[in-house]
Structure 1
Amino acid sequence: MSEKSLPTNRWDEDLALILAAAVAAGDTALGYFRRTVDVRWKNEGRSPVSEADLAANDILKARLLGARPDYGWLSEETDDDETRLSRDTVFVVDPIDGTRAFIAGKELWCISVAIVHRGLPAAGVLYAPALGELFEATHDGEARMNGEPIAVREPAPNEKLQVAVAEDLSRKLISPYRESIARVPHVPSLAYRLAMIADGRIDGTIIKRNSHDWDLAAADLILARAGGTLCGLDGMPLSYNRPIVSHGFLSAASGAALPALLAASRPLAH
């Protein structure tokens, strides 16, 4: 991420805005949690959306665009409007990342809100209300969880890396790197999984194809400010608010773990 591409002012105010909006949306969603909610399916039946997702989305859109009407808008739960491509600054939102977990009554879901400026995250918030965890960062500030600084874990020499990776992908990883990895059980929210790297609970993850800007942008920034990296399998950083908002295979890890994880993942790049 090139900080030279981002202005060094104004993001603290924007962070306060998105933090308050994320908390309001998350607390509203929490009111639906572990209750019977209406659910419909989109993307040819592959993705659920609940009435809690839509309620959270409404709150975020009203608060954020009400305060910054000149910003663009990209949300998983709003039909895409390509006018966002003409805006330098865009809200990138997932009202509930981990909807399947939410519907199942599991706590691993969060509200993800980022401000992207000229393709790069400038401010980001993840709020996991069922866990009481609030992550935040700006592009030139610390990553924090519940107000306290966080940092990635640096594994000891010869220590196995704690990596969240699907079982089918783990079988494709190259030896001997594969033997240096201890597979972490599935984490249903991708954004929260990246936050777990940022605060040192796990060392890395390999992300399947077809993640989206709204899954990644806020967590990408939080992870970067905590000392980690999210990138393609070629090691290149991500760019957001493009015409196509989906991504290919990705890897994320602490600085110490990333080279081994990228080397292990080479077969997935073909």
Structure 2
Amino acid sequence: MNTTDQTDAQVARSVALAAAVLLRDLCKAGACADVDLGPRGDAEANELILDLLRAARPDDFILSEESADDGLRCAQRRVWVVDPLDGTREFRERRDDWAVHIGLSIDSVPAVGAVALPAAERVFVSDDVPPQWDAAPSHPRMVVSRSRAHPIVNAVATAIGAELIPMGSAGAKAMAVVEGRAEIYLHAGGQYEWDNCAPVAVARAAGLHTSRIDGSDLVYNCRDPLLPDVLICRPEYAERVLAEVAKASA
């Protein structure tokens, strides 16, 4: 099928899968020295993704972590927001919790997304059939940074009695909630639009709560792409988590 005939979700899926193959092959032992693995992964995946998106959607604009931003996207309705390699540290360490993010913002809303977990050979897309989760546990599982969970995150986890699960990439964390391996992903302290646009699009389509940690909407294609916090969780926990964030932030 010609990619120009595909839906946006199909484009996101195919681009994410192509980048996943490239990165998985590059990550194989002996492909290159560890010190070069991260920069090569970022650069080569970015080049492939840009080429594929431009071929499939020539009239759209792209915001990528690995490309200079000329600001022309800001006046556009349709902007692809991509992170060619989310979790460079984990990729370099040849772990499995790194990801490829292909998101599409339409009128500043995360409308379409694909998150590939190449090491696990998985891809999650906003047109997937919504998952069926088990009953919400009384003590939820919360995915957090491997090394630097924000004090607000730790305070909320303590207040609600959550089990902490350290993990790498933002995409890997968000997909753990989509998959039902955790119930809450709460992040504070710094991210950019490319870190969470695709994960949020997939999570929204799956029926999860998504917002800033003050409960406001996540808005994309802003002139400054800084988007420092995000909450992705089962709807049953959203009200309490937001309340505890407010207490911890006071």
TM band (smaller chain): 0.7 to 0.9
The answer to whether the 8 A contact 1:152-1:226 is kept is no
State whether structure 2 residue 142 is matched by structure 1 residue 160. Answer: no
1:249 Cα shift?
3.1
Size of the aligned set, in residue pairs, is 242
Q: Equivalent residue for 1:22?
A: 16
Partners in 2 of 1:226 and 1:11 — Cα distance? 25
TM-score normalised to the size of structure 2?
A: 0.87
Aligned residue among 75, 100, 111 for 2:89? 100
TM-score, scaled to structure 1:
0.81
Whether 1:54 aligns to 2:33 is no
Whole-Å separation in 1 of the counterparts to 2:183 and 2:242? 13
Which secondary structure state, in structure 2, belongs to the residue aligned with residue 130 of structure 1?
helix
Cα offset, 1:56, TM superposition: 0.7
Which residue in 2 is equivalent to 1:240?
220
Alignment of 1:1-270 (within 5 A): 13-33=7-27, 34-35=29-30, 36-37=32-33, 39=35, 49-138=38-127, 144=128, 149-156=130-137, 159-165=138-144, 167=149, 169=151, 173=155, 178-184=159-165, 186-270=166-250
SS in 1 for 2:216: coil
Deviations 1:139-178 (A, max 9, x none): xxxxx3xxx642455414xx20111235552685269x62
> Matched residues in 1 for 2:153 and 2:126: separation?
35
Relative to its length, the structure with more strand (as a share) is 1
- CA RMSD, 1 decimal: 2.4
Give the C-alpha shift of residue 120 in structure 1. Answer: 0.8
Larger helix percent: 2
**Sequence identity, in percent?**
23
Unaligned runs of 5+ in 2: none
Q: Following the alignment from structure 2 to structure 1, what is the Cα–Cα distance between the partners of residues 75 and 150?
A: 40
The answer to which of 110-119 and 257-266 deviates more is 257-266
Q: Sort the Cα spacing of 1:153 and 1:215 in 2 relative to 1 into closer, same or farther, 3 A.
A: farther
